[in-house]
Amino acid sequence: MSDENQQPVIEPALPPAETPLGAAQCPPVETVVCAEPEVKVVERVIERNFEKVVEVPVAKDKLVLGSEEFFTIEPGGLRLLALVDTGAATSSLSVVALTPFERDGSDWVRFSLSDGSDAEPVKIELPIKRHVRVARPGFDRQRRPIVDMSLTVGEVTHMVEVNLVERGEFEFPLLVGRNFLKDAAVVDVSRKQVQGKPKLPSFSK
């Protein structure tokens, strides 16, 4: 057979060889974000601020006094309504017929004291310890004698210095200052007559 009559042989096409995918040809990685679960408010809490009451501890051997208290004063044995004044350094007593005099070479003072009742005023004579000058707004400075007197409120009795002043009508014949209150009592100015009427000292008549 001649070469002219021979049919050409066609080889089947081979599939193209697989080429490895490069990093640039990789499909993009998708970031999956999970949704947060829905939060439901099942309870509402309301905070309220309440006023805090602080109790101040008071020593057992101290009295609690109001802004006004009944005191017994000796000598005299009279119960007087007193103004408790933490701003005053010393105690003060309003009297009538204040008269200084001399006894055995020493300075004394004589005065009358009333509790405001219809009873006869009590006459008292005491030695003068010293004098003090007191200045009050709107008044001239006063020179007042100071004497020792015993003051009692509740179950507490103290001997303290008291300055004497001659006055007419007065709401509080006795003003109790810090020389009595120190180390003996605390004052609650929102209250009055906490201790009631005091007992007379044991040495009273």
pLDDT tens readout for residues 11-24: 555 555 555 555 55
3-state SS string over 60-117?
CCCEEECCEEEEEEECCCEEEEEEECCCCCCEEEEEEEEEEEEECCEEEEEEEECCCC
The reported pLDDT for the residue numbered 148 is 96
> Each residue of 111-123: pLDDT tens digit?
999 887 888 899 9
pLDDT for 119 equals: 82
User: Please, which pLDDT band fits residue 197 given cuts at 50, 70 and 90?
Assistant: confident
pLDDT tens-place string over residues 142-169: 889 999 999 999 888 899 999 999 876 6
Which pLDDT value is given to residue 124?
96
Three-state DSSP at 158 gives: strand
Selected residue with higher pLDDT from 38 and 163? 163
Sign, CA torsion 106/205/81/196:
positive
**C-alpha dist (Å) from residue 52 to 49, 55, 58, 191:** 9, 10, 19, 20
pLDDT band at 129 (very low <50, low <70, confident <90, very high): very high
End-to-end distance of the chain based on CA atoms, in angstroms?
Answer: 173
d(C-alpha 125, C-alpha 144), whole Å:
15
pLDDT class of 42 with cuts at 50, 70, 90: very low
In single-letter form, the type of residue at position 123 comes to K
Whether 140 has a pLDDT exceeding 50, the answer reads: yes
Each residue's pLDDT tens digit, 55-105: 444 456 678 899 999 999 999 999 999 999 998 899 999 999 999 999 999
Q: Which residues, in sequence order, are bridge partners of residue 68?
A: 83
- Of 7-11, 123-127, 135-139, the one with minimum mean pLDDT is 7-11
